[in-house]
Amino acid sequence: MRQSQLFGKTTYEISKDEQSVNAQLLIRGGFIHKEMAGVYTYLPLGKRVLSKIEDIIREEIDAIGGQEILMPALQKKEDWKTTGRWGVDIMMKVKTFFNKEYGLGWTHEEVVTPLAKKYIKSYKDFPFFVYQIQTKFRSEKRAKSGILRGREFLMKDLYSFHINEEDLNKFYNKAKDAYFKIFDRVEIKDKTYLTFASGGAFSKYSHEFQTLTSAGEDIIYICNKCNIAVNREIIEDLKQSCPVCGNKNLKEKKAIETGNIFKLKTRFTEAFNFKFLDKNGKEDIVLMGCYGMGLSRLMGTIVELFNDENGIIWPKSIAPYQVHLVSIGKDERAIKESEKIYKSLQMEKIDVLYDNRNESAGVKFKDSDLIGIPLRIVISKKTLESNSVEIKKRDRDGFKLVGINKIVASIKRGDINNT
Amino acid sequence: MRQSQLFGKTTYEISKDEQSVNAQLLIRGGFIHKEMAGVYTYLPLGKRVLSKIEDIIREEIDAIGGQEILMPALQKKEDWKTTGRWGVDIMMKVKTFFNKEYGLGWTHEEVVTPLAKKYIKSYKDFPFFVYQIQTKFRSEKRAKSGILRGREFLMKDLYSFHINEEDLNKFYNKAKDAYFKIFDRVEIKDKTYLTFASGGAFSKYSHEFQTLTSAGEDIIYICNKCNIAVNREIIEDLKQSCPVCGNKNLKEKKAIETGNIFKLKTRFTEAFNFKFLDKNGKEDIVLMGCYGMGLSRLMGTIVELFNDENGIIWPKSIAPYQVHLVSIGKDERAIKESEKIYKSLQMEKIDVLYDNRNESAGVKFKDSDLIGIPLRIVISKKTLESNSVEIKKRDRDGFKLVGINKIVASIKRGDINNT
């Protein structure tokens, strides 16, 4: 992509109505635009990051047998009345001009349970796992955390269905592993703790995935022996001790919930009377689990964790582009070589943002740091005199000179190191 | 995918509350589930088709320079008041528990125009083209046409911005060509007519893309000389003649609008006072075009066009799977060979649905026709006696025997023909 044509621009202003680091950096880098409190547009750079996160999540959920579907945001009043959740504060309500009323989906148990009931009757059809990546709406009164807590946001929600607890437990553990694989791929695994939370009326515990960051709205208590944590809601019940080993020396930390998994068991299948026929032709109640992960929240968390005073530092797996090619000055040879390298990188299918704008080196470097692409190539008259170009990693100081004829091959091989 | 595990089932019942062929066939094939009038869930098979349509549209819009963004469904009351469209019937209205009111997006001019104004000031930044593939909501009083006209549906909406009419006209023609490329790839180009429609206050004409089908809610008038059409809205003004050649011998046909393109010119840029600075530093008004295409409507139109009495006949480019592998009977060798071919096809990255269910040949063939995958391989004890398998194209009668050792390579090369 030629940066001269890129829609969305960097800005050096700090938005007064944005208190969160993630929103400030994403707005300054030209990734998102704030429409209203808790409502954002994703500009081309931001949409690219979001799509990469989507691909990673889809791959890992497909890998544990998830089948992708797409359920609607408009939801039936009757079904929410069935579970007693019509009229909860978090739900936005929709009206048509002919006075038809809907709930606007903030979660999908009330859709997926009757849906599954329609198709599934026999024990032979179990277990099954369906998920979607879809827009959720929530009446968040205070939406001050940028894309960490939106009124409209993208979420992956997975639902599993089982004929017994053993099977539910087995899949629950698989989903847990899949979540850690996702966190690993977006490079936040080492800061993310499996966190024990309340299981409600049906289970002893549910689990949150809490990622340590000073921007977190949650407080968690970490057991360093077990490498797990406990959330604030249940720490008193546990008498300030680890639910796994009993360790009383827990560390208090701020964190953000980047995922949650919950054994719903019969919470919704009872409400909708969703039963199956077992081997002996006897009816039994279906068990259920749900597994949520907010895509925009994950993106915001990554920004909170990977930045410095100059801007965002994207992990490679979700960076909008892999290479930022920055052409400096109006020297004819520099422009010619820049165009050549741009085309070579494209030929090699390496995602490249090419700063071909008529701006000073200072502006270009500042913008490049703000955008935070992992690798920067700088082409200038000066280094071309020794037939070389400058390369720099966003997450390291210093740069390195590489021969102009070797640069594309080096990037392709991935053997670029700052020195 | 093993069909025994596929979520969503075929059904032979004809839904009483569905009058449309597309909804009936899609429900019977296990592609969609009706939630409410005009609101559907896409089951795994349906989601796969929808995603393939999405990929095709994305590729063709990217190819003409479209930059993908994602705008919200929740929209500002003030901006709709600015254009005088707050409170139109088609708009659903949303309320939070703290009485904040939003419009629910049925189109995005009121979002994209202020957004573009924020980032774009100079003639140097023009032209630019942004689009999204996003969920729209519309208060359709009568939603009886299945996924052809939904209350919630996926749409691609592209917006272009220009400094003069010449530039707008140039892109408008490019977009027109891109639309025909999309129709070509989903195999409905030969039935789709560029159709002259009213241009409103700002342009003489806009254009619809109308695809001939008896399910169409529109009437168009075709000029066979020019290969274009005129819609009902303007045919009287044109005195029943072709706007290109004047031909008065137009043919009346039923059609469905599968796309529309519109030179909005200053309709929205005036309302939001979106101006740019020209070469001489003088302010001038921005010109705009918009280009819509409904993904679910396109999918529904294709179903209306490609079916027979036994079910859907998917064009290859958007079929949920390329191959339906049907294993018949309980013969040990047949099962072993089916498993082998299933794995080989997967190794070759050929999308395959494998009917490994414990059902009769009759049920499997009936389901296979309903689902409508382009190529069917049947493995049975009988043909294995001559070391061969049966292959059949969904859109042709008859079948062919192919050697068991040659089948995967033949499919890979694409040289399968019925005889």
Domain coordinates in residue numbering, chain A: 3-308, 321-413
pLDDT at residue B159 tops 60: yes
CB contacts < 8 Å between A and B, how many? 142
Nearest CA in chain B to A75: B35
Put simply, the answer to whether A6 touches B67 (Cβ < 8 Å) is yes
CB proximity under 8 Å: B 18-47 to A: 33, 35-36, 39-44, 46-47
Residue B165's pLDDT is 97
Name which residue leads in pLDDT, A14 or A96. Answer: A96
Beta carbons within 10 angstroms of residue A249's beta carbon: 12
> Which residue type sits at A233?
E
Instruction: Look at residue A417 and tell me whether its pLDDT is greater than 70.
Output: no
B146 forms beta bridges with none
* Separation CA A249–CA A252 (nearest Å): 10
Q: What percent of chain B has pLDDT over 70?
A: 99
Residue A186: C-alpha distances to residues A279, A291, A380, B238, B295 (Å): 43, 18, 33, 59, 31
CB contact under 8 A, B36 and A96: no
Q: From A264, A396, A383, select the one nearest A331 (Cα to Cα).
A: A383
Average pLDDT over residues A161-174: 98
A321-413 topology per CATH: Rossmann fold (3.40.50)
Cβ burial, residue B78 (10 Å; 0-12/13-18/19+): exposed
Mean pLDDT value across residues A10-17: 81
Say if residue A418's pLDDT is above 60: no
Residue B73 DSSP one-character state? S
Q: Is B13 on the interface with A (CB under 8 A)?
A: no
- In the prediction, which pLDDT does B136 show? 98
**Predicted pLDDT of residue A14:** 73
Are B42 and B79 contacting, i.e. CB atoms less than 8 angstroms apart? no
Assigned token pair, A378: 């700088």
> What are the C-alpha distances in Å from B412 to residues B87, B344, B409?
55, 11, 5
Asked if residue A25 has pLDDT above 70, the reply is yes
Average pLDDT score over residue span B339-365: 97
Q: What is the ipTM of this complex?
A: 0.97
pLDDT in the model for residue A142: 87
Whether residues A8 and B141 touch (CB distance < 8 A) is answered with: no
Q: What is the pLDDT of residue B419?
A: 44
Label residue B203 by pLDDT band (50, 70, 90): confident
For A3-308, CATH number?
3.30.930.10
Distances from the Cα of B376 to the Cα of A410, B294, B318, B393, angstroms: 46, 30, 16, 6
* For range B148-152, the mean pLDDT: 96
Please name the residues between 141 and 180 in chain A that touch chain B, using a CB distance below 8 Å. 141, 151-152
pLDDT value at residue A419:
44
The tens digit of pLDDT for each residue in A107-147 reads 999 999 999 999 999 999 999 999 999 999 999 998 889 99
Question: Residue B22: helix, strand or coil by DSSP?
Answer: helix
**Strand-pair category, B92-95 with B74-75:** unpaired
Pairing of strands A67-68, A128-137: parallel
pLDDT of A129: 98
Question: Are the folds of B3-308 and B321-413 the same?
Answer: no
Surface of A (72-131) touching B: CB under 8 A: 72-76, 89-98, 100, 102, 104, 111, 115-116, 118-119, 128, 130
B113-138: average pLDDT: 97
Q: How many Å lie between the alpha carbon of A190 and the closest alpha carbon of chain B?
A: 31
Chain B: nearest CA to A106, how far in angstroms? 12
- pTM confidence score: 0.97
Q: What is the average pLDDT score of chain B?
A: 96
Note the pLDDT tens digit of each residue in A352-390: 999 999 999 999 999 999 999 999 999 999 999 999 999
- Alpha helices, DSSP H, located in A120-197: 165-185
Q: Do B152 and A73 touch (CB under 8 A)?
A: yes
